[in-house]
Each structure stands twice: as structure tokens, then as C-alpha cells.
């Protein structure tokens, strides 16, 4: 039984704890938060064995096997590295850091400490993703020419002081843009040649909206879009020379519709097991059982690769 500790007890941590409760191979053992109300709420709901006010105390607990880091983006690198130095397997919430250099530092520590690390990009592990890739691999819609995905959400009543409005760690690109970017790069087996991007900067000085056009070396054009100030239907579209594929709610999909130029169409459906975070937890348990240091589905280098393109979107923004 893998004993988990959680650092940071916001809403996403509550969701993680619920997903973990479905597993027979892991359990929530310890939590840490500097906020008493959050510690009390978590303990009342999940009745874990240990409750810590201090993150380092949790990391020093020798009974903890794995750590889920659910802190604001700007703290991901520091606490990932601290956990790795304590030889704890780490699942760090997305984005893995605020830039690619931070992920490179994390990789260095993971390798140095011979300890497992993975970014919590849950979409990579949703069951139907392998079916979508099979359609692409079998050229059922021909050669891929373009792919587009967005994550646009109007976040209302953002509290003053929220990390979302922090110039160093906030904004749409880091918070939600990582979803469409990671999805597009997972579907295309080619490197990004050039990036054109645009951002709207709000009164807090963070990007409230962005759009980026990625030109891949194999000729595919990727379009990614994200927002924290407007809504848009969250669908990915993959276009090929023989047709196209629509994936509703691509960040946690259970359906894909294939439309062929011949007029024929068909739907692929595959249920999500329990919820959209369970599959990534299951993957980590499998990796730890096999003594792996990274997941084949989301390697350390792949997280770096995605973050390097995110850096280019930010740097090239008009």
C-alpha cells in the first residue's frame, strides 16, 4: 500500500483525495497546510493518520511514500525538489513550474536522488486518449494537417491576492493554457518549428487571454487558446487529409467523433474510470510497483519539451 502525503489543501487537493479513495493500492496517510481551517476540513472528510502544519515535517515522515503537491504554481519547483531530496515519489500539479528552466532543475534532482517524479497532466492518462492516437496512427483521417484546442473559462470573483493575478505565477497561459498545449503536443509526433502568439493583459498585469499558432516541423499547424476572462466551448479538433475528429471536453474526454470526407462518421466512446484524476494515480502506482523513475506516458523530458514551447508562447506574444 502506497502511503500518500498532500502538500497544499485547496480544491484540487480535495479532488485528488477523492480520486485516491477509489484505489486499493494507495491511501491518504498525511496532509500539510499552514491554514487550520483547511487542515480541519480535510481531516473531517478523509480522516488521514497525520496532520501537519509544516510541509517539512510531512516530508520528514518516514511513513510517507509519495507526495502530491497542490500548491500555487510558483511553489511547485521548490517543494518538488524538497520532496525528491527526501526520497519521496512526487506527483506535482500542473504546470510543473513557471518555466522550462524550473522543470530542468526538477529533473536534475529526480535523477540525482533516483526518485520518481511526474507532472499531474491528467489528460495524458485518460483511457480514450490511446484510441484517439490509434485513429491518427492508422491514418483513418489521413495525414494530419492541423489541430486546435482551447481552455477558455470566465473565472468570476477572483479573490484579491490570488495567485491567478500574480505577475510571477498567474495568468491564463500557466493556469489553463498548459492543457491545450500539452494535448496538441501529445498528438503530434514532431517538434515545434515556430511560434506566433498574442496575449491580452488585464489590469493586474497578467494575461487574461492568449492564442498561439504552432508550426511543427512536419507541416502540421497547431492552434492553442486559453482564457480566464471568457468562455468558449471546450472542444479539440484534429484535421486530416481524409477527414477530421472532434473531441468534446478533450482535457477529460470520453468520446471522439470521426468525420470522413466521404460523408461517413462514427463515434468512439470509452468511459472514464471513476473520475478524471484516477488514471494518473493508477499510473503512478504502476510505475512505483515496477520501480520506474518516470512514466512512459509523460516523461521528464516531455514535461520540459512542453514547457519550452510555453516559454516561447510567452516570449513571442504581441
Separation of alpha carbons 7 and 59, rounded Å: 9
Q: Give the per-residue pLDDT at 185.
A: 98
What is the pLDDT, as a whole number, of residue 136? Answer: 98
Asked whether the beta carbons of 64 and 31 are under 8 A apart, the reply is: no
| Domain locations in the chain as residue ranges | 2-120, 127-271
pLDDT of residue 3: 98
C-beta separation of 230 from 97 below 8 A = no
**pLDDT of 161:** 85
Helix, strand, coil abundance in the chain, percent, nearest 5: 35, 30, 35
Residue 76 CB: number of other CB atoms within 10 A?
27
pLDDT tens-digit map of 108-126: 999 999 999 999 999 999 9
In whole angstroms, give the CA distance from residue 65 to residue 218: 42
CATH architecture of 127-271: 2-Layer Sandwich (3.30)
> Could you list the pLDDT tens digit for every one of the 318 residues in the chain?
999 999 999 999 999 999 999 999 999 999 999 999 999 999 989 989 999 999 999 999 999 999 999 999 999 999 999 999 999 999 999 999 999 999 999 999 999 999 999 999 999 999 999 999 999 999 999 999 999 999 999 998 888 889 999 999 999 999 999 999 999 999 999 999 999 999 999 999 999 999 999 999 999 999 999 999 999 999 999 999 999 999 999 999 999 999 999 999 999 999 999 999 999 999 999 999 999 999 999 999 999 999 999 999 999 998
Is the model's pTM score more than 0.85?
yes
Question: How much is the pLDDT for 318?
Answer: 84
Question: Domain 2-120 - what CATH class?
Answer: alpha beta
Concatenating the DSSP letter of every residue in 180-208 gives HHHHHHHH--S-EEEEEEEEEE-TTSSEE
Asked whether the beta carbons of 230 and 209 are under 8 A apart, the reply is: yes
CB 245 within 8 A of CB 257: yes
Q: Is there a contact between 117 and 68 (Cβ–Cβ < 8 Å)?
A: no
Amino acid at each position: 500500500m502506497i502511503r500518500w502525503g498532500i502538500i497544499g489543501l485547496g480544491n484540487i487537493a480535495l479532488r485528488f483525495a477523492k480520486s485516491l479513495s477509489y484505489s486499493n493500492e494507495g491511501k491518504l496517510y498525511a496532509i500539510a497546510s499552514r491554514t487550520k481551517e483547511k487542515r480541519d476540513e480535510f481531516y473531517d472528510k478523509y480522516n488521514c493518520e497525520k496532520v501537519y502544519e509544516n510541509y517539512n515535517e510531512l516530508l520528514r515522515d518516514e511513513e510517507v511514500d509519495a507526495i502530491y503537491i497542490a500548491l500555487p504554481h510558483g511553489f511547485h519547483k521548490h517543494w518538488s525538489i524538497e520532496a525528491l531530496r527526501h526520497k519521496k515519489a512526487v506527483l506535482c500539479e500542473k504546470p510543473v513550474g513557471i518555466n522550462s528552466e524550473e522543470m530542468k532543475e526538477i529533473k536534475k534532482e529526480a535523477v540525482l536522488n533516483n526518485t520518481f517524479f511526474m507532472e499531474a497532466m491528467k489528460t495524458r492518462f485518460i483511457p480514450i486518449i490511446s484510441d484517439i492516437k490509434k485513429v491518427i496512427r492508422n491514418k483513418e483521417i489521413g495525414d494530419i494537417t492541423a489541430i486546435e484546442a482551447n481552455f477558455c473559462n470566465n473565472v468570476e470573483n477572483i479573490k484579491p491576492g490570488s495567485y491567478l493575478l500574480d505577475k510571477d505565477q498567474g495568468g491564463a497561459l500557466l493556469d489553463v493554457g498548459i492543457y491545450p498545449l500539452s494535448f496538441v503536443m501529445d498528438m503530434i509526433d514532431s517538434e515545434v518549428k515556430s511560434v506566433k502568439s498574442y496575449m491580452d493583459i488585464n489590469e493586474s498585469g497578467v494575461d487574461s487571454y492568449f492564442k498561439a499558432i504552432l508550426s511543427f516541423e512536419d507541416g502540421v499547424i497547431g492552434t492553442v487558446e486559453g482564457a480566464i476572462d471568457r468562455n468558449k466551448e471546450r472542444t479539440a479538433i484534429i484535421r486530416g487529409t481524409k477527414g477530421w475528429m472532434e473531441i468534446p471536453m478533450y482535457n477529460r474526454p470520453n468520446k471522439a467523433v470521426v468525420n470522413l470526407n466521404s460523408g461517413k462518421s462514427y463515434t468512439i466512446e470509452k468511459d472514464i474510470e471513476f473520475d478524471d484524476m484516477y488514471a494518473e494515480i493508477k499510473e503512478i502506482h504502476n510505475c512505483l510497483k515496477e520501480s520506474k523513475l518516470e512514466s512512459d506516458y509523460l516523461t521528464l523530458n516531455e514535461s520540459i519539451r512542453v514547457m519550452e514551447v510555453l516559454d516561447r508562447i510567452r516570449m513571442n506574444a504581441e
